[in-house]
């Protein structure tokens, strides 16, 4: 039943095969009844170390789902509501102005005081107006005009503390550092570092023993990263984030293993226990945007190869509290209501509650939006639904 999947992964991790993608691939499928299939092929920490599901990868934006869970746990405790104004918890965020669509006499995009409130719901659904120095293009123009360097992945919070909002909260959609602000709210409201909070409330209860913001402790288990070259080949090279990050960034700072991550997906697939109520899990999968046109514009525009390589342009989508939700069935693939997200090292996951299956692919390959990895991820999803 899984022969096709095994062959796909094996060829994808074999440098001598025409279907070669990267030197290491770990693909995992979990079913609602707890059964798990996994295929790991290629290089682990070093050339003589075969990769396994227990090697430690930088999760990049796969980190975001953990923050969503932590934020909803905080809501369940009554420490804040999803639709409460976060101004008292995050006064630095509340002080940021919003772009007004004009430029001053020096060519710098102008800002004005914000009117709408910022909430956990808008932060988790990327509809708060919080972007970054790179996107949307309006904020990239502001950053370029003001000399703000490209520092988000330095993990020092400097960009999120300085960038204005791209639009009034609740009126648009943009990828950005909203999850980092949500993580800061979790930290402050619970009085714990994110490392300690996640370990106590997510990683510990699920038995995720190699998940952390501080990966150096797992030295020999850290996967070797690779970079795609201009000629299409790959070579070993550093990632774009520090391993000793100065700040625990909820949006991109977690390191974990395919096996640990599968436990997280499995918990949500089964309804949330022991980390979330079924009501909160349902909210994660619920479309949050009144009008998804801004989301669709980014997903099928300049961010398509990075955020939406597995989403056909013809398919309507919305955004939940933990990722993109497709509103109709993808023929021969995922069901309507499936949640999915991706990571900058070309990782990919989805949870299909209708068909009772969740899956992930783990690469440690940059830059994001790699064409060969994107093609692999599409083929993998198709093969999963033929096999399970």
Domain extent listing, the chain: 74-189
Nearest CA-CA partner of 99 in 161, 176, 163, 182: 163
Predicted confidence (pLDDT) at residue 14 exceeds the cutoff of 90: yes
Predicted confidence (pLDDT) at residue 193 exceeds the cutoff of 80: yes
Q: Is 61 a catalytic residue?
A: yes
pTM for the model: 0.97
Q: 223-274, pLDDT tens digit by residue?
A: 999 999 999 999 999 998 999 999 999 999 999 999 999 999 999 999 999 9
- Which residues, in sequence order, are bridge partners of residue 318? 325
* Banded pLDDT at 221 (limits 50, 70, 90): very high
Residue 182 belongs to what H/E stretch? helix 178-190
Q: Could you tell me where the DSSP H helices lie in the chain?
A: 3-12, 64-76, 91-94, 120-124, 137-146, 158-162, 178-190, 194-198, 204-206, 258-269, 278-285, 293-299, 304-307, 371-387
Q: How far apart are the first and last CA of the chain?
A: 8
Residue labelled with tokens 């020096």: 106
- What is the per-residue pLDDT for 153? 87
Q: 128-177, pLDDT tens digit by residue?
A: 999 999 989 999 999 999 999 888 888 899 889 999 999 999 999 999 99
Q: What is the mean pLDDT of the chain?
A: 96
Question: What's the token pair of residue 235?
Answer: 């070579």
Question: What's the token pair of residue 118?
Answer: 């910022």
- DSSP annotation of 384 reads H
- What is the per-residue pLDDT for 167? 98
Q: 293-346, pLDDT tens digit by residue?
A: 999 999 999 899 999 999 999 999 999 999 999 999 999 999 999 999 999 999
Predicted confidence (pLDDT) at residue 1 exceeds the cutoff of 80: no
Residue 313 belongs to what H/E stretch? none
Question: What's the token pair of residue 233?
Answer: 């080949």
**Calpha distance 380→374 (Å, rounded):** 10
- Of these residues, 10, 14, 61, 211, which one is catalytic? 61
- What is the per-residue pLDDT for 302? 85
- What is the per-residue pLDDT for 106? 86
- DSSP annotation of 274 reads T
Q: What percent of the chain has pLDDT over 70?
A: 100
Q: 51-99, pLDDT tens digit by residue?
A: 999 999 999 999 999 999 999 999 999 999 999 999 999 999 999 999 9
């Amino acid at each position: 039943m899984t022969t096709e999947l095994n062959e796909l992964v094996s060829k994808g991790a074999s440098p001598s095969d025409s279907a070669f993608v990267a030197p290491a691939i770990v693909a995992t499928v979990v079913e609602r009844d707890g059964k798990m299939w996994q295929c790991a092929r290629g290089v682990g920490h070093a050339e003589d170390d075969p990769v396994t599901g227990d090697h430690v990868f930088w999760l990049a934006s796969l980190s975001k789902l953990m923050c969503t869970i932590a934020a909803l746990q905080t809501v369940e405790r009554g420490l804040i509501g999803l639709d409460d104004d976060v101004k008292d918890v995050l006064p630095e965020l509340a002080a940021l102005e919003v772009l007004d669509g004009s430029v001053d006499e020096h060519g710098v995009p102008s800002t004005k005081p914000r009117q709408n409130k910022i909430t956990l719901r808008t932060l988790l659904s990327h509809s708060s107006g919080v972007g970054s120095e790179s996107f949307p293009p309006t904020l990239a123009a502001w950053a370029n005009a003001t000399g703000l360097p490209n520092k988000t992945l330095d993990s020092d919070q400097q960009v999120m503390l300085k960038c204005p909002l791209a639009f009034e909260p609740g009126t648009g959609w943009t990828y950005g550092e909203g999850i980092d602000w949500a993580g800061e709210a979790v930290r402050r409201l619970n009085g714990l570092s994110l490392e300690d909070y996640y370990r106590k409330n997510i990683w510990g209860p699920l038995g995720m023993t190699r998940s952390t913001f501080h990966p150096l402790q797992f030295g020999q288990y850290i996967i070797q990263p690779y970079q795609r070259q201009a000629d299409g080949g790959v070579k070993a090279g550093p990632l774009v984030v520090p391993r000793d990050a100065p700040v625990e960034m909820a949006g991109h700072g977690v390191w974990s293993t395919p096996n640990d991550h599968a436990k997280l997906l499995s918990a949500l697939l089964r309804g949330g226990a022991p980390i979330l109520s079924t009501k909160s899990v349902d909210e994660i999968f619920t479309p949050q945007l009144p009008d998804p046109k801004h989301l669709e514009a980014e997903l099928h525009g300049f961010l398509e190869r990075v955020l939406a390589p597995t989403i056909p342009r013809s398919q309507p989508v919305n955004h939940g509290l933990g990722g993109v939700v497709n509103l109709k069935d993808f023929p021969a693939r995922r069901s309507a209501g499936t949640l999915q997200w991706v990571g900058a090292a070309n990782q990919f996951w989805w949870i299909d509650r209708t068909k009772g299956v969740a899956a992930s692919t783990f690469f440690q390959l940059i830059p994001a939006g790699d064409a060969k990895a994107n093609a692999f991820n599409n083929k993998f999803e198709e093969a999963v639904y033929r096999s399970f």
